A = this chain, B = another copy of it.
């Protein structure tokens, strides 16, 4: 029976082994003392807890470059997602095959959602259309929305929205890049403002050490 110890996993993931064990204990995963965790059982338990064992039908609305990229993205299928439909407002797109499936027109949005029991929608439309699409998705029964459009969506309680801003990560890189450059010529010529003391190791968290508040 192939097993892994928390120590091995922690080293691989770059985290503390105690934290890892504590996390696993929250999930109810049971290892065997003196041996470690049964790999297969552990993978199954974590997958189940994360919802990877379920089949989540999703619709992608807005089949531009980004929508097409998402439709073709291989990572979805392996994580339990199934693209149930591609929807676009452009009649010229209707019927065109993208990622091996025909694009459908926005008119059929409600029917598609309901027929496929879709509860997760992806919005990849231009900013102007996003809120309207969002409202229709929600009205049709979607309760989770992944928003790639550069707008803040308003939704009723009980609906989750996550906004993906493709430029934020780039901005974080630029932030650190700037700091690198500043370290070489140590002084901050501009106006005597001292360089703020921010944690040096910015490879830790997913969002680094960027302040909470940014200008829009």
* Residues on A facing B (Cβ under 8 Å): 9, 13, 15, 19-20, 23, 26-28, 43, 46-52, 54, 56, 58, 64-66, 68-70, 72-76, 79-81, 119-120, 122, 143-146, 150, 158, 160, 162, 164-167, 169-178, 180, 190, 193-194, 196-198, 202-203, 206-207, 210-215
In the complex, chain B residues whose CB is within 8 Å of the CB of A75: 150, 165-167
Q: State whether A160 touches B177 (Cβ < 8 A).
A: yes
In the complex, chain B residues whose CB is within 8 Å of the CB of A76: 167, 170
Contact of A66 among B20, B66, B214 (CB under 8 A): B66
| Chain A interface, >50% SS class | mixed
Contact of A47 among B50, B79, B213, B215 (CB under 8 A): B215
Q: A23-B211, A160-B176, A164-B166 are in contact. List 5 more A-B contacts (CB 8 A).
A: A51-B177, A52-B171, A52-B215, A160-B173, A164-B169
Q: Known: A51-B177, A56-B174. Contact between A70 and B166, CB under 8 A? A: yes
In the complex, chain B residues whose CB is within 8 Å of the CB of A194: 28
Q: State whether A170 touches B79 (Cβ < 8 A).
A: yes
Contact of A146 among B43, B81, B145, B170 (CB under 8 A): B170
In the complex, chain B residues whose CB is within 8 Å of the CB of A80: 174
Contact of A176 among B73, B144, B190, B214 (CB under 8 A): B144
Interface pairs (20), CB distance under 8 Å: A13-B212, A15-B213, A28-B196, A50-B171, A52-B215, A54-B174, A56-B174, A65-B66, A66-B66, A66-B69, A68-B69, A73-B167, A75-B166, A75-B167, A81-B170, A119-B177, A144-B174, A145-B173, A160-B173, A164-B169
Q: State whether A169 touches B180 (Cβ < 8 A).
A: no
In the complex, chain B residues whose CB is within 8 Å of the CB of A172: 162
| Cα–Cα, bound, A207→B204 (Å) | 13
| Cα–Cα, bound, A27→B190 (Å) | 14
In the complex, chain B residues whose CB is within 8 Å of the CB of A49: 196
